[in-house]
Amino acid sequence: MADIHPSAVIADGAQIGADCVIGPFCVIGKDVVLGDRVTLKSHVVVDGDTHIGDDTVVFSFAVIGEIPQDLKFDGEKTRLRIGARNRIREHVTMNTGTANGGGETRVGDDGLFMAGCHIAHDAQVGDRVIVVNSSAVAGHCIIEDDVIIGGLCGVHQHVRIGQGAIIGAVTMVTKDVVPHGLVQGPRGVLDGLNLVGLKRKGVSRADITALRAAFQMLRDGEGTFQDRANRQADESDSAYVQQMVAFILGDTDRNFLTPG
């Protein structure tokens, strides 16, 4: 049975899962679906066509599922889907999608979204993502699994950030970031690999060596960035290098941050 504070306002039609905890002064809209054991601490607003997965905790003053901050939005029916076991801290905002962007903002499982961060319309955020305080992910971005975005960062619309990449604090990211890349500096420079993250993940020494060699080739090799990536596809059998190559050669609306 859910534990719902008497001051909470829950619209008719909202679906509240088993053993949810709804704290004081929370407001839940009619199209909201909360999975089992979801906790809304207090003063949380969840609105729109929003689903929140099991065991997610939303902290005070977060606003989840409000309409996009996009002047082209005209009231169309769009969605926000949030996975399981996320931690969404104070003052976080996550918006529903737009019709032109696919209609759905999606957040995976096991993420940590620290105080004051923003996930904009139509963003696709993977599993185990950490977005640190006061950072903003703009519309239509793709943030793959295991990415860390440091504090006070801005990610430009349509940017892709590959799996396992890390963005240093106070960085503006305007171009795609390769998987396992390390980006830092005020205007986002690809400055190496996320070696700490790779080691923590238990990636083999052979794969790390292969990634370092591939990064060196991408930085210093002849031809365009895509030409260098194509050569890596032929020269390395490391699954991690092949993942990086596939990302570089994939569809994108932005250019890439290239090694500095």
Residue limits of CATH 2.160.10.10 in the chain: 3-140
13 is catalytic: no
pLDDT, residue 81, reads 99
Using the predicted structure, report yes or no on whether residue 1 has a pLDDT greater than 90: no
127 is catalytic: no
Mean of the per-residue pLDDT values of the chain: 96
Using the predicted structure, report yes or no on whether residue 124 has a pLDDT greater than 90: yes
Task: Enter the pTM of the model.
Answer: 0.95
The string of pLDDT tens digits covering residues 179-226 is 999 999 999 999 999 999 999 999 999 999 999 999 999 888 889 888
List 121, 140, 156, 180, catalytic entry: 121
Share of the chain above pLDDT 90, in %: 88
17 is catalytic: no
pLDDT, residue 163, reads 98
Fold of the domain built from segment(s) 3-140: UDP N-Acetylglucosamine Acyltransferase; domain 1 (2.160.10)
Mean pLDDT computed over 150-158? 98
List 139, 162, 168, 188, catalytic entry: 139
DSSP for the chain, please give it.
--EE-TT-EE-TT-EE-TT-EE-TT-EE-TT-EE-TT-EE-SS-EE-SEEEE-TT-EE-TT-EEEEPPS-TT--S---EEEE-SS-EE-TT-EEE---GGGTSEEEE-SS-EE-TT-EE-TT-EE-TT-EE-TT-EE-TT-EE-TT-EE-TT-EE-TT-EE-TT-EE-SS-EE-SBB-TTEEEETTTTEEEEE-HHHHHHTT--HHHHHHHHHHHHHHHH-SS-HHHHHHHHHHH---HHHHHHHHHHHS--SS-BPPB-
pLDDT, residue 233, reads 87
List 49, 122, 127, 146, catalytic entry: 122
pLDDT, residue 252, reads 87
How sure is the predictor about 40, in pLDDT bands with cuts at 50, 70 and 90?
very high
Using the predicted structure, report yes or no on whether residue 260 has a pLDDT greater than 80: no
